[in-house]
Structure 1
């Protein structure tokens, strides 16, 4: 039990940041992080060691997020209106707008570019572990990341 506690302390913040990027919602990312570690605790005996424990945790989190997306209802116009009318400082608005612009562009990319960029930038995974997730070589992961960055840049320019 102490070993799992150490594992939790070591990886909880990185897994949370990864899930925050996917969900764009702090509360949902927090809930998914807890669910991720709960599932990991229940199934730690299934960890095969083919990747790092962090990669395994991110994969569990991503699967939990995908299940949540399938269950999720579409956002209503009322919800969008409430969010749009909140009082915010201009700087906060501009910063959030830039972040949202980048996220929107990233989420418009096709796989595997989108997933590789998310895993590398937000998940902070090394190319070797990204390659292992996709069952390709490390050079494939590097090339895919480089091409993904180019596509992201182009997508961001088109969204302006």
Structure 2
């Protein structure tokens, strides 16, 4: 597979994974592009024995963390300004709003989770990696990835139940 095919085949998945890490679409797009730029240089050394998607996700994760460290202040300011905006496109569909609100609440909570729970959950749900692939990324086994994923899932469920109880 040449690099253009790799880009076409995996860009969407890498972009969705990065999008799960950050709230800003344009930043996610930029980081996804940067991921493939960084992958282009050492692609000739990639032996094909490992999963290329997991390799790209690792590059994307590291690129995101580097970007975050460099731009932390700007990202905080952007998040505050986004919170102050009023949503003028409100749709009167209670069911849809509830689902969107729950999804937003879950994403907010995921961002506060500690590592490795946050990353394992994101890789499994948004990156659609197998437990074996996740375990390999962390240098562990698939059972470690399963246990970590289920603990993260349990934290999210407990948080959502807590929110639900506060609403009642």
TM over 0.5: yes
SS of 1:87's equivalent? Answer: coil
Partner of 1:137: 141
Partner of 2:15: 16
Partner of 2:157: 153
- Aligned mates of 1:17, 1:60 — CA distance in 2: 14
- Aligned mates of 1:139, 1:126 — CA distance in 2: 11
TM-score (norm 1): 0.87
Contact 1:109 1:152 in 2 (8 A): no
Residues 37/76 of structure 1: CA separation in 2 closer, same or farther (3 Å cut): closer
Deviations 1:68-127 (A, max 9, x none): 1112222168724652x2412234754442221011121222211111100100011111
- Could you tell me how far 1:44 is from its partner in structure 2? 1.4
Contact 1:131 1:137 in 2 (8 A): yes
Extract unaligned runs of 5+ from structure 1. Answer: none
Give me the CA root mean square deviation.
2.2
- Aligned mates of 2:27, 2:89 — CA distance in 1: 22
SS of 2:128's equivalent? Answer: coil
Extract unaligned runs of 5+ from structure 2. Answer: none
Contact 1:36 1:64 in 2 (8 A): yes
Query: Aligned pair 1:79/2:81, yes or no?
Result: yes
* Number of equivalenced pairs: 158
Larger deviation, residues 52-61 vs 146-155:
146-155
Runs of 4+ in 1 over 4 A off after TM superposition: 91-95
